Chain A
């Protein structure tokens, strides 16, 4: 009986010291992607809590690459959502009104939470549309 008959995976070789932080993060992303595929559960990694040096952070940015989607939000200051070259892995940066980063996350999701419109808002939109329609019918003019 060979090793191939039992379901084991060999551990990755340990990377050089300088790369360990990055490899750990990549492994976490991979695990969260697996979780998303299996259970539809979104994952988030707080980048400001990960002890990366500025150089390592840059290296991670380069490794993850640039995807097709990017979005800019204006909500209590700017927020930037960028798809990485890996589908389902998003780099989300929140700034405050003074342009200082208040949160930096990797979100593992079909689409980041902050971009979604939720049910309450859909209801509000419908109410507002109805008001517009009523306004036009009653007032007779389009503003």
Chain B
């Protein structure tokens, strides 16, 4: 039995005659090439590799949905991340497989022609298009702090959401407010979800892909999931896809064995740091941050912050900018609770608790106000 959602997305696909498989075949891609593509896609979507045949079958009938991408209060880092992705084969095929009808930065058209393209796509594919949003939305003073072609971000989002089959919030800003929302939040910035919750825009199925910026393969992985199966992947309470945000960085960190043994770097240049010990005491946010950096990594799978010797700063979590200095150890309750409930490793709990206790005096007030990071913090010890 197909769910209503699946039927709905079936309607999207009938709009564009050529299937993804036909398109790839036309480009001269063989069965092996297609199998390879599906294997890489499964890996990218964090699905078990045994799903490759299911992806092949789904892509055999899926056609290209229309995608409209709106950018609001943002730094274009999310788009940079996506276009700097190091998997040109897979990612470009995905983008071949969607029809990106509007994107400020990437489209050739500008000015009125660009806005017309957006309006046309919205009218033609009403109820069917996928809306991608990066950047938070200023809500203060009726949204006057950011406008495009004379239209406030709030109004443009409201119109965009109305005809969308689903909305994907890309980056921490559109997912949780991000930097624009950081205290004292002068523009009254809000996330897409905030606006849906307070009824300022209509509610639609929403996927959050937080990260500052998000990992390119996660962005394309989620789009690929929607494209392939026509459904929203399984989400957590914060609307994040479980396949990419189901574990903390700490759960999947290769330095975890040192955490469990209580071996910590105390400064960035001590013996422990050189030996690659756990960065918990140097402020690592891995234990409270849900993301895939530890497995998918960055720059084409080259490395990720912890592998390069710096703790995780938790950029994909709500309110990360106002959570105190990045160089202070996490407080005990969160760290201990995470470890105890998710892994149940006794040594780690004890070590974490001890180190957190040692840092007790440093974290007082960290969450109440924005703190400056001083050179001392970096050279501590």
Give the interface of A toward B (CB within 8 A). 17-18, 20-21, 43-46, 48-53, 56, 73, 75-77, 79, 94, 96-98, 100-103, 105, 113-114, 118, 120-121
Contact = CB atoms under 8 A, between A and B. Distances in A.
A76 B254 contact: no
A103 B88 contact: no
10 contacts: A44-B50, A48-B295, A49-B43, A49-B295, A52-B254, A53-B254, A73-B32, A96-B88, A103-B43, A121-B31
A79 B32 CA distance: 10
B88 A48 contact: no
Interface of B: 29-33, 35-37, 39-40, 42-44, 46, 48-50, 52, 86-90, 252-254, 256-257, 260-261, 294-296, 300-301
A94 B36 contact: yes
Can you list the 10 inter-chain pairs with the closest CB atoms, starting with the nearest? A96-B89, A44-B49, A17-B257, A53-B254, A102-B40, A51-B252, A103-B40, A76-B33, A103-B43, A75-B32
Given A53-B254, A76-B29, 17 more contacts: A17-B260, A17-B261, A18-B257, A46-B43, A46-B48, A48-B295, A76-B89, A96-B40, A96-B88, A101-B300, A102-B40, A102-B43, A103-B39, A103-B43, A113-B35, A114-B32, A121-B31
A4 B301 CA distance: 49
A57 to B, nearest CB: 10
Contacts of B29: 76
Chain A CB within 10 Å, residue with most, of B52, B254, B296, B301? B254
Contacts of B296: 48
Nearest to A97: B89
B254 A56 contact: yes
Chain A CB within 10 Å, residue with most, of B36, B87, B89? B36
A32 B252 CA distance: 23
A129 B50 CA distance: 34
Contacts of A94: 36, 39-40
B86 to A, nearest CB: 5
B55 to A, nearest CB: 12
B87 A96 contact: yes
Contacts of A50: 295
B301 A101 contact: yes
B254 A51 contact: yes
B254 to A, nearest CB: 4
B89 A75 contact: no
A130 to B, nearest CB: 20
A103 B52 CA distance: 12
A103 B49 CA distance: 10
A105 B36 contact: no
A77 B254 CA distance: 30
